[in-house]
């Protein structure tokens, strides 16, 4: 009987050891997978850091000076006035001409609709500009927070929008190359 008890205890002990070994093996496999994932993330971070270091080491063009920023903000305000303070679309087009490159002006003219443009006007209520940092001395982005009142067919409607303007300095002066209008939606 004693022998049977000892055999039963030995079997239980062997089964316990086998289950612990399986548990440890599973844990090791999970750790191995986790380590592989961490290694992949580490390699990705190292590549990103290397890329950023190479950008930092590359010879950068001088950053936009404060005087340039003031000039850009002044030009930008004049452009926002031209875009959002007019009595007709023809007047608007005439007012924006000195502030946009020829290609942009042609695109704006091409996309005009056929409705009576003399019955359209706009009033600029407010405009706030945020100049984005740029490492390129010949290109800069300005984000504008604009509130205006558009009148069409004698019906006025207040509009709030964001206008991203990309300015380029090709001919020695800053001009708008592209616009991105996003209507503000209250949440």
pLDDT digits (tens, 9 = 90+) for 105-151: 777 766 565 555 667 889 999 999 998 877 677 889 999 999 999 98
CA pair distance 31, 39, nearest whole angstrom? 12
H/E element, 43: helix 2-57
CA pair distance 145, 80, nearest whole angstrom? 10
The dihedral through the CA atoms of 45, 46, 48, 49 has a sign that is positive
**DSSP reduced 3-state for 100:** strand
CA 87 → CA 110, 111, 124, 158, 163, distances in Å? 20, 19, 11, 16, 20
**DSSP reduced 3-state for 175:** strand
Q: What is the pLDDT of residues 58-110, one digit of tens each?
A: 555 555 677 888 889 999 999 999 999 998 888 888 898 898 988 887 777 66
């Amino acid at each position: 009987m004693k022998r049977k008890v000892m055999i039963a205890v030995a079997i239980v002990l062997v089964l316990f050891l086998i289950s612990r070994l399986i548990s440890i093996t599973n844990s090791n496999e999970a750790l191995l997978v986790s380590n592989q994932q961490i290694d992949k993330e580490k390699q990705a971070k190292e590549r990103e850091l290397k890329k950023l270091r190479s950008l930092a080491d590359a010879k950068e063009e001088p950053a936009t000076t404060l005087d340039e920023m003031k000039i850009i903000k002044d030009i930008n305000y004049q452009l926002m006035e031209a875009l959002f303070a007019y009595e007709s679309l023809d007047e608007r087009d005439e007012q924006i001409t000195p502030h946009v490159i020829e290609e942009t002006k042609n695109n704006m003219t091409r996309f005009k609709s056929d409705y009576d443009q003399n019955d359209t006007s706009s009033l600029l209520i407010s405009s706030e500009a945020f100049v984005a940092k740029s490492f390129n001395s010949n290109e800069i982005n300005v984000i504008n927070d604009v509130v205006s009142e558009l009148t069409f067919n004698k019906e006025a409607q207040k509009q709030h929008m964001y206008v991203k303007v990309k300015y380029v300095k090709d001919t020695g002066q800053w001009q708008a190359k592209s616009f991105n209008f996003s209507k503000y939606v209250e949440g």
